[in-house]
Amino acid sequence: MAALQSTSEPAVADDATTTTTPDPAPTPDRVPTRDPAREAPPGARLSARTRARAKVAAAGAGTSVVLARAIRTIAGIVALVIALGIAFVALKASPSNTIVSHVHDWAKWLVGPFDGMFHLRSARATVAVNWGIALVVYLAIGAAFARMAMAPARAFGRRATAV
């Protein structure tokens, strides 16, 4: 009978068979960063000013990511209120309901500049078209502001695209 060998010992790799993979090439989702510590020769000491600038830039990049997320969240909430207002008007929701009346009032206030752009035969269709235009404009402006807020993060290489 053959004796079973214990497999608890890890296998040792031969140096000739191990390979190292080079760093991956930059992809569109990962922008190469400019890091003074990487550019300095090994063993070189960075000045306190260079380290401080790197910390401030990294903090600014992180703050811009948070700001962009906040802008997108606010734009999404505004779009949701307008979409609910459109749905309540189009589906003839009861205006005596507290939720329906509050959402309608908020949506009407948000779409104030867009109210009355177009006049269709049906009042419900008019509201749907005008408020729908407002919804699209709010989302586009929110996306543009979020993209501008992400500019410092993209410049420092924190993120390639807005979140």
Query: So where are the chain's domains?
Result: 48-156
Q: Scanning the structure block, which residue is given the tokens 């214990």? A: 6
> How confident is the model at residue 138, as a pLDDT?
95
CB 107 within 8 A of CB 84: yes
pLDDT class for 61, splitting at 50, 70, 90? low
Q: Which two tokens stand for residue 125?
A: 């269709």
pLDDT at residue 151 above 60? Answer: yes
The sign of the torsion formed by the CA atoms of 66, 69, 74, 77 equals negative
C-alpha 6/C-alpha 25 separation (Å) is 42
Distant-in-sequence, close-in-space partners of 94: CB < 8 Å, separation ≥ 6: 100
Other C-beta atoms closer than 10 Å to the C-beta of 93 total 17
Percent of the chain's residues with pLDDT above 90:
41
What stretches of 43-161 show up as alpha helix (H) in DSSP? 48-90, 98-110, 123-149, 151-156
**Whole-number percent of the chain with pLDDT over 70:** 58
pTM score of the predicted model: 0.60
Residue 38 parent element (H or E) = helix 36-39
Average pLDDT over the chain, rounded to whole?
76
- The length of the chain is 163
CA distance 62 to 94: 45
Cα 22 → chain centroid: 30
Q: How many CA atoms lie within 13 A of 145 on its CB side?
A: 16
